[in-house]
Amino acid sequence: MSQAVHRASWELPPQPSGTTDVSDAASPANAAGRADAADTRPVHAPRIAIIADDEDIGRLLLAESVLARGLTPQAFDNGTAALAAALAAAASGELAIVLLDVDMPGLDGYAVCRRLRAQAQLPAVPIVMVTGHEDSTAVTRAFEAGATDFISKPVNWSLLPRRLEYILRNAAAARALAERVTQVRTLVEAIPDTLWVVAPDGRILWSPNAAGPQVESLAPAEQLPQVLSAIRKTAQDGVQRRLQYRESGTQSYELRFSRREGGDVVVVRQDTSERTAAAERIERLAYFDPLTGLPNRQRCIETAEALFAEADRLRQSVAVVYLDLNSFKRINDAFGHSVGDAVLRTVAARLMHALEQCRRDGAVSSVARFGGDEFVILLRHADVRPLADEVAEACRRAFLNPIAYEGLEFYPAPSIGVAVYPDDGPDVATVLKNADTAMYQAKSGAARSVAIYAPAMSSRLRDWLDLEARLRHAVQQERLALQFQPKFRLRDQRLVGVEALLRWCDAEHGDIPPNRFVEIAEDSGLIIELGSWVIRAVCRQLAAWQARGLALPVAINVSGKQMLHGDVARVVEAEAAAAGIPASLIEIEITESLLIKDSATVREALERLRALGCGIALDDFGTGYSSLAYITRFPPDRLKIDQSFIRQVDQSPRDAAIANAILALAHSLDVIVTAEGVERPGQLEWLRARGCDEVQGFLLSRPLGARQLEQRLLTEAGASPAPASTHAPGS
Ligand code: C2E
Ligand code: MG
Ligand code: MG
């Protein structure tokens, strides 16, 4: 028992809730010394030994023994002087040991010992009592006074130095340990982590962070069972474990469990909120589109993978709805990226709203921005096809109203393709590709803007790619041909010119309509080469006709890309000069949409063509923007009313009104009007009655080969002017 008290004076780290008077008394000193306690300096070895004995011989022998241990003795014959000297030595940090005779006049040994122990600076200094009494009462009193050890009289002087050495070594070890404990404590306090030592059954044995900690301090109640099980397992197998949990949304923690020697478990709790927040930020950057806040392509693909796997388990299907904006690039080019960004943000919001409206029980859905103007919606549901139809339709409707931005209005019409896993492909890549294919199908079909994937589409797309390669060869090897469709003046029904129409007969696919391959040529950039070839071929034909005394104006169709990038005026000038024909025999047909761009390039090209003597015709008039302002700004020589208005012109009041308006406008500007696609006499009569200048169409002539045309011209010359009815369709 007494042994325990004795050891307590130096072994236990001083605590506010300390167990003995001794350590209580010591704690403030320790707190004061804590600032530099974490030092790694070697522990200082004090040198002074205070001796108090009223008997001279005892005092001398004690001093001798102390000297023998390499210490400096300060010996006194009374307690009062010894106490003062001990305090002074302690204050200078040099007090190594105190040896006190119990029986002294004045202050006896017990009193000196008690007073010394009451001093803050003396926690671990050994105080040895020299007792004259062997009885246990004296020993007990000595320990109660705070003594470290006792020597009983008569003293065995030969053994005393050994005894002292033992006591001093213990004291040094205690000092070093106390120092280390202070360092560790300071470290523990400096580390933001919380630490517990826990018994395998979950009892908390110790924690530097709290006095008498309860098991509840380890983690929130809902985590506690998991935590206790981790402690149990770690105590059993010694394997380190980690456990993470969140608290109140933003706070996150990690608990680490490791087994100590002896089987207890150390639990360290780290606040990982900041680290988690950083990880989440990184995830946002890697997985989300900063413009719209939607998941990006990468995240979309990963989500699709997860949904497909889940669909396998649940025996459900996943629909991929692929959406692309038809005219977005034009908006970006014309108004700049900030406007484009604003439009995309609105698009994202509208898609989310559309999806919201199609909620269905058990459905999982997500919208992602897949690329520039491409969005992908993923839907998982037991009956996903009707849901996908509904979503696609809601998306289409979401664009019926224009997007307004800073006084501008945009109509970014979507093309939407749908493919379904597992029906339309075994993996994410295939299903996405097929949804994309369906989307392209939707884009090419004029009226519909939604297409559901069908296997035939893939072969069609392959055909398309195949066609591009074939067309390239055809252009390089000049395996293309021109036909010429006559235009007739209505007044006298004379053939007044022709339009050159490109023909491509592919060895495998047969005749491919120009509407189809011109689009391919535009997409691939091949149109520049193709267009130049047409100009050259027309010039050669004109030269051949000229050689036979024929001067027939020829209209050439020039596509938008060619007009912008093909240097058409230079090509016309060069080819006309090379063929030796006047450029005034050439008319250039452009579409309205090109003019509306009002770009300097187009304007300049048109002016140069005019300067060469070329006529300018506006083709397919009425189908585009019909912005009449552009026409008044740059009046063409000819307007060609599109077939779509002529088809019903004698039957549909609406078409008749449009054709009438175009005629009135053109005539007010002195522009010649040509009606396209005249197939029936009724149309011809209507146009003649309204004063239309010229007509072109199957009724009067289909496009003809050069030979056939020459034939026709000869007939015309012989039998002029021929009535319309003699040129029946198909003749
Ligand atoms: P477009 O310039 O409007 O040419 C008139 C189209 O209407 C021609 O079709 C012609 O064959 C067709 N057509 C003429 N009369 C009638 C009719 O009474 N009924 C019907 N249903 N159609 C009639 P084609 O030859 O298939 O050409 C289609 C389009 O391809 C042309 O439309 C033109 O935009 C483009 N194209 C043709 N050749 C070239 C070319 O050399 N270069 C460029 N860039 N485009 C060309
Ligand atoms: Mg044309
Ligand atoms: Mg046309």
- The minimum-distance atom of ligand 1 relative to the CA of 640 is 3
150/92 same-domain check: yes
Distance (Å) from CA 414 to ligand 1 centroid: 27
* Structure tokens, 371: 């690329």
In this structure, which ligand is nearest to the CA of 514?
A: 1
400/450 same-domain check: yes
Residue 49: what pLDDT? 94
Confidence of residue 120 (pLDDT cuts 50, 70, 90): low
230/256 same-domain check: yes
Residue 461 clears pLDDT 90, i.e. is over it: no
Strand 241-247 relative to strand 554-557: parallel, antiparallel, unpaired?
unpaired
In this structure, which ligand is nearest to the CA of 589?
A: 2
DSSP 263-301: S-EEEEEEE-HHHHHHHHHHHHHHHB-TTT-SB-HHHHH
Question: Which residue, judged by its Cα, is nearest atom 7 of ligand 1?
Answer: 677
In this structure, which ligand is nearest to the CA of 684?
A: 1
In this structure, which ligand is nearest to the CA of 642?
A: 3
Residue 575 clears pLDDT 60, i.e. is over it: yes
CATH number at residue 370: 3.30.70.270
Q: Which of 298, 29, 293 is nearest to 175 (CA)?
A: 29
269/368 same-domain check: no
Residue 26: what pLDDT? 35
Cβ–Cβ < 8 Å for 707, 671: no
Residues with CB under 6 A from ligand 1: 485, 501-502, 513-515, 518, 531, 534, 557-559, 589, 619-620, 643, 676-679, 696-698, 703
Q: Probe ligand 1: pick from 482, 518, 621, max atoms within 8 Å of CB? A: 518
111/55 same-domain check: yes
Residue 394: what pLDDT? 93
Is residue 413 situated within a structural domain?
yes
Is residue 561 situated within a structural domain?
no
Residue 477 clears pLDDT 70, i.e. is over it: yes
> Could you report the per-residue pLDDT of 201-241, keeping only the tens digit for each?
888 888 876 666 788 888 888 889 999 999 999 999 999 99
Distance (Å) from CA 322 to ligand 1 centroid: 32
Please state, in angstroms and rounded to a whole number, the distance separating the CA atoms of residues 349 and 339. Answer: 16
> At which of 392, 427, 455 does a domain end?
455
Residue 543: what pLDDT? 97
Question: Ligand 2 is a single-atom ion; what residues have CB below 5 A from it?
Answer: 557, 589, 619
Positive/negative CA dihedral, 308, 311, 312, 313: positive
> Could you report the per-residue pLDDT of 237-258, keeping only the tens digit for each?
999 999 989 887 788 899 999 9
What is the rounded average pLDDT of the residues 123-139?
A: 80
Residue 596: what pLDDT? 65
Q: Probe ligand 1: pick from 475, 480, 499, 501, max atoms within 8 Å of CB? A: 501
Confidence of residue 624 (pLDDT cuts 50, 70, 90): low
Question: Which residue, judged by its Cα, is nearest atom 13 of ligand 1?
Answer: 677
Distance (Å) from CA 260 to ligand 1 centroid: 88
Q: Probe ligand 1: pick from 676, 678, 687, 696, max atoms within 8 Å of CB? A: 676
Cβ–Cβ < 8 Å for 589, 487: no
Residue 719: what pLDDT? 58
Distance (Å) from CA 437 to ligand 1 centroid: 27
Q: How are the residues of the chain apportioned to helix, strand and coil, as percentages rounded to the nearest 5?
A: 50, 20, 30
Amino acid at 622: G
Please state, in angstroms and rounded to a whole number, the distance separating the CA atoms of residues 74 and 83. Answer: 11
Please state, in angstroms and rounded to a whole number, the distance separating the CA atoms of residues 637 and 693. Answer: 12
Is residue 570 situated within a structural domain?
no
Residue 69: what pLDDT? 83
Distance (Å) from CA 681 to ligand 2 centroid: 22
Higher pLDDT, 708 or 33: 708
Is residue 468 situated within a structural domain?
no
Distance (Å) from CA 485 to ligand 1 centroid: 9
Is residue 513 situated within a structural domain?
no
307/450 same-domain check: yes
Residue located via tokens 């900030």: 338
Q: Which residues pair with 443 in a beta bridge?
A: none
Q: Which of 363, 409, 416, 368 is nearest to 386 (CA)?
A: 363
Other C-beta atoms closer than 10 Å to the C-beta of 134 total 9
Cβ–Cβ < 8 Å for 319, 384: yes
Question: Which residue, judged by its Cα, is nearest atom 10 of ligand 1?
Answer: 703
- The minimum-distance atom of ligand 1 relative to the CA of 501 is 38
Strand 48-52 relative to strand 72-76: parallel, antiparallel, unpaired?
parallel
* Structure tokens, 349: 């919001």
Please state, in angstroms and rounded to a whole number, the distance separating the CA atoms of residues 258 and 237. Answer: 10
Distance (Å) from CA 604 to ligand 2 centroid: 21
In this structure, which ligand is nearest to the CA of 621?
A: 3
295/221 same-domain check: no
Q: Which of 632, 625, 691, 687 is nearest to 665 (CA)?
A: 632
Q: How many domains does the chain have?
A: 3
Question: Which residue, judged by its Cα, is nearest atom 42 of ligand 1?
Answer: 557
Is residue 537 situated within a structural domain?
no
Distance (Å) from CA 34 to ligand 3 centroid: 95
Q: Is 262 left (phi over 0), alpha (psi -120 to 50) or beta?
A: left
Q: How much is the mean pLDDT over the chain?
A: 84
> Could you report the per-residue pLDDT of 281-315, keeping only the tens digit for each?
777 778 889 899 999 998 999 999 999 999 999 99
CA angle (147 as vertex; 145, 152 as ends), nearest 5: 110
Distance (Å) from CA 541 to ligand 2 centroid: 18
Q: Probe ligand 1: pick from 557, 694, 702, max atoms within 8 Å of CB? A: 557
In this structure, which ligand is nearest to the CA of 568?
A: 1
Residue 36: what pLDDT? 41
Residue 89: what pLDDT? 92
Other C-beta atoms closer than 10 Å to the C-beta of 268 total 15
How many separate helices (H) and strands (E) can be counted in the chain?
26, 26
212/258 same-domain check: yes
CATH number at residue 265: 3.30.450
Residue 35: what pLDDT? 39
Q: Which domain holds residue 249?
A: 3-22+192-277
- The minimum-distance atom of ligand 1 relative to the CA of 527 is 44
Higher pLDDT, 410 or 623: 410
- The minimum-distance atom of ligand 1 relative to the CA of 591 is 34
Determine which helix (DSSP H) or strand (DSSP E) holds 345, and give its type and residue range. Answer: helix 337-357
- The 3-state DSSP class for residue 176 equals helix
> At which of 186, 201, 229 does a domain end?
186
Distance (Å) from CA 461 to ligand 1 centroid: 24
| 5 DSSP 8-state letter | H
Distance (Å) from CA 677 to ligand 1 centroid: 9
Please state, in angstroms and rounded to a whole number, the distance separating the CA atoms of residues 695 and 659. Answer: 13
> At which of 247, 277, 307 does a domain end?
277
Asked if the bond preceding 154 is cis, omega within 30° of 0, the reply is yes
Please state, in angstroms and rounded to a whole number, the distance separating the CA atoms of residues 703 and 557. Answer: 14
Other C-beta atoms closer than 10 Å to the C-beta of 226 total 13
Residue 29 clears pLDDT 70, i.e. is over it: no
Cβ–Cβ < 8 Å for 650, 682: yes
Confidence of residue 442 (pLDDT cuts 50, 70, 90): confident
> Could you report the per-residue pLDDT of 397-423, keeping only the tens digit for each?
998 888 888 888 887 888 999 999 999
Distance (Å) from CA 620 to ligand 3 centroid: 4
Question: Which residue, judged by its Cα, is nearest atom 20 of ligand 1?
Answer: 677
Residue 38 clears pLDDT 50, i.e. is over it: no
Q: Is 70 left (phi over 0), alpha (psi -120 to 50) or beta?
A: left
- The minimum-distance atom of ligand 1 relative to the CA of 703 is 11
Question: Which residue, judged by its Cα, is nearest atom 29 of ligand 1?
Answer: 515
179/198 same-domain check: no
Taking the chain, what is the end-to-end CA distance rounded to the nearest angstrom? Answer: 131
What is the rounded average pLDDT of the residues 18-37?
A: 35
Question: Which residue, judged by its Cα, is nearest atom 12 of ligand 1?
Answer: 677
For residue 245, count CB atoms less than 10 angstroms from its CB and return exposed for 0-12, middle for 13-18, buried for 19 or more: middle
* Structure tokens, 254: 């990690």
Distance (Å) from CA 641 to ligand 2 centroid: 10
Question: Which residue, judged by its Cα, is nearest atom 27 of ligand 1?
Answer: 514
What is the rounded average pLDDT of the residues 616-637?
A: 74
> Could you report the per-residue pLDDT of 686-722, keeping only the tens digit for each?
999 999 999 999 999 999 999 999 999 888 777 554 4
Cβ–Cβ < 8 Å for 694, 487: yes
In this structure, which ligand is nearest to the CA of 560?
A: 1
The model's pTM: 0.48
Is residue 628 situated within a structural domain?
no
439/405 same-domain check: yes
Please state, in angstroms and rounded to a whole number, the distance separating the CA atoms of residues 64 and 168. Answer: 16
> Could you report the per-residue pLDDT of 595-612, keeping only the tens digit for each?
766 678 888 999 999 999
CA distances from 76 to 82, 94, 100, 106, 121 (A): 6, 17, 10, 13, 21
In this structure, which ligand is nearest to the CA of 515?
A: 1
Report, in angstroms and rounded to the nearest whole number, the Rg of the chain calculated over CA atoms. Answer: 51
Distance (Å) from CA 324 to ligand 3 centroid: 28
Is residue 262 situated within a structural domain?
yes
Distance (Å) from CA 558 to ligand 2 centroid: 8
- The minimum-distance atom of ligand 1 relative to the CA of 558 is 44
297/417 same-domain check: yes
CA angle (381 as vertex; 379, 385 as ends), nearest 5: 75
Residue located via tokens 């884009």: 443
> Could you report the per-residue pLDDT of 146-194, keeping only the tens digit for each?
898 888 888 888 888 888 889 888 888 888 888 888 888 888 778 888 8
Question: Which residue, judged by its Cα, is nearest atom 46 of ligand 1?
Answer: 557
CATH number at residue 149: 3.40.50.2300
308/238 same-domain check: no
Higher pLDDT, 404 or 455: 404
Please state, in angstroms and rounded to a whole number, the distance separating the CA atoms of residues 589 and 606. Answer: 11
